[in-house]
């Protein structure tokens, strides 16, 4: 959902600015677009950490084969913590950026752009905090939004693999369950790789700009910023597709919802039976977040989700 918000709101603003040299929504977009982009990094970072913890709990659970599905209220609570925490950490971006204008010496055309400069109208205490954030922004990006999810995911995967290999030597586990566990781990690793590849250019550019900005022209800085935004939009486009392709139960559920909406949910007997069969298969398989027993299929009255 956050990736969709980035593509729906931020991408048109950036394209409009590159074509017309005018900022859509003016000062509002200069503050909201960076806020949403940094929040997107936070949502992805903390979601990967949460998924790594979930995989670790799945490997260390004493009843791995009979792990119940988590309640919808608990899932929403975790998502709320991730979203609220990400947006809270991104609040300084709203106070850091503002709209500026520049006149081209060749064509004389006035162009609008966003500059990283705190407003002098802020209270003194807030102004000092924003300046501190601006000075530490590069290393905060690199440490929290790049190193944290990658190191956290790698550590959880190494510990999970070690525990899984130890359990395989002591007890015989189902082949299907082991394959499904490996499939879920590969899904998280794939999401982490995409995230790492798409955020590496931005971190490299931030470090280069921090130490070489006096020797670089404004056109070069604008080009680097545009490249960073392109990789962010690419990540937001690829991540949902990768998740739906690698996680078969989630992808199947998504396709069932799309087919149901396209067909108008017609009460045909054959289609309802097929839908019931597909729901039963989805319930018997595990989702990207949680595991459920494959040995005892759920009763037909328990079909569906708590939502």
How do residues 223-254 score in pLDDT, each as one tens digit? 888 888 899 999 999 988 888 887 777 778 87
Query: Which pLDDT belongs to residue 288?
Result: 43
Task: Tell me how far apart the alpha carbons of residues 86 and 83 are, in angstroms, rounded to a whole number.
Answer: 5
Which of 3.40.50.300, 1.10.10.10, 1.20.1070.10, 3.30.70.260 would CATH assign to domain 1-60+71-168+184-261? 1.20.1070.10
Percent of the chain with pLDDT over 70: 76
53-62, 94-103, 250-259, 260-269: segment of lowest average pLDDT: 260-269
Cα–Cα dist 208/214, whole Å: 11
- How sure is the predictor about 22, in pLDDT bands with cuts at 50, 70 and 90? confident
Mean pLDDT of the chain: 79
Q: Buried b vs exposed e over 186-197: b needs ≥16 C-beta within 10 Å? A: ebbebbbebbee
3-state SS class at 187: helix
The residue-averaged pLDDT of 77-91 equals 93
Residue 302: pLDDT above 60? no
| Spatial contact of 75 and 90, defined as CB atoms under 8 Å apart | no
Please write the tens of the pLDDT for every residue from 105-136. Answer: 666 778 888 888 888 888 888 999 999 998 88
**What is the average per-residue pLDDT within 12-33?**
88
pLDDT at 74 (0 to 100): 87
Confidence of residue 65 (pLDDT cuts 50, 70, 90): low
165 vs 12: which has the higher pLDDT: 12
Residue 277 scores a pLDDT above 70: no
In angstroms, rounded to a whole number, what is the distance separating the alpha carbons of residues 213 and 98? 19
Query: What pLDDT is stored for residue 289 in this prediction?
Result: 44
**Would you state the pLDDT for residue 252?**
81
How distant, in Å, are the alpha carbons of 31, 51, 158 from that of 127? 16, 36, 43
At a CB cut-off of 8 Å and minimum separation 6, what does 228 contact?
A: 201, 202, 205
Per DSSP (E only), the strands in the chain are 97-103, 110-116
SS (H, E, C) 219-270: HHHHHHHHHHHHHHHHHHHHHHHHHHHHCHHHHHHHHHHHHHHHCCCCCCHH
Mean of pLDDT values over 292-298:
47
Q: Which of the two residues, 108 and 199, has the higher pLDDT score? A: 199
Separation CA 94–CA 39 (nearest Å): 11
Query: Alpha-carbon Rg of the chain, whole angstroms?
Result: 24
Q: For the ranges 17-31, 42-56, 134-148, 266-280, which has the lowest average pLDDT?
A: 266-280
Confidence of residue 307 (pLDDT cuts 50, 70, 90): very low
Lowest mean pLDDT among 63-67, 134-138, 145-149, 286-290: 286-290
């Amino acid at each position: 959902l956050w990736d969709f918000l980035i593509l729906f709101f931020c991408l048109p603003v950036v394209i409009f600015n590159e074509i017309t040299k005018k900022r859509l929504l003016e000062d509002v977009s200069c503050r909201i677009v960076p806020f949403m982009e940094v929040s997107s990094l936070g949502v992805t970072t903390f979601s990967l950490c949460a998924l790594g913890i979930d995989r670790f709990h799945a490997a260390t659970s004493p009843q791995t084969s009979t792990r119940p599905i988590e309640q919808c209220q608990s899932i929403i609570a975790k998502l709320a913590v991730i979203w609220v925490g990400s947006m809270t950490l991104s609040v300084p971006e709203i106070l850091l950026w503002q709209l500026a204008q520049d006149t081209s010496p060749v064509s004389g055309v006035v162009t609008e752009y966003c500059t990283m400069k705190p407003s002098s109208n802020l209270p003194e205490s807030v102004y000092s905090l924003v300046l501190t954030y601006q000075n530490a922004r590069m290393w905060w990006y690199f440490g929290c939004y790049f190193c944290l999810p990658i190191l956290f995911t790698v550590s959880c995967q190494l510990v999970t693999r070690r525990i899984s290999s130890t359990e395989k030597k002591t007890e015989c586990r189902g082949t299907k369950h082991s394959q499904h566990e490996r499939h879920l781990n590969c899904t998280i690793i794939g999401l982490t790789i995409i995230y790492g590849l798409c955020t590496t250019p931005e971190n490299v550019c931030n470090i280069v700009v921090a130490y070489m900005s006096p020797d670089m022209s404004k056109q070069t800085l604008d080009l680097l910023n545009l490249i960073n935004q392109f990789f962010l939009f690419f990540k937001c486009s690829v991540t949902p597709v990768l998740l739906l392709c690698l996680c078969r139960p989630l992808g199947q559920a998504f396709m069932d919802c799309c087919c149901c909406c396209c067909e108008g949910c017609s009460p045909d007997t054959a289609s309802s039976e097929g839908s019931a069969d597909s729901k039963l298969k989805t319930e018997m398989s595990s989702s990207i977040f949680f595991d459920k027993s494959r040995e005892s299929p759920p009763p037909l009255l328990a079909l569906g989700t708590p939502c």
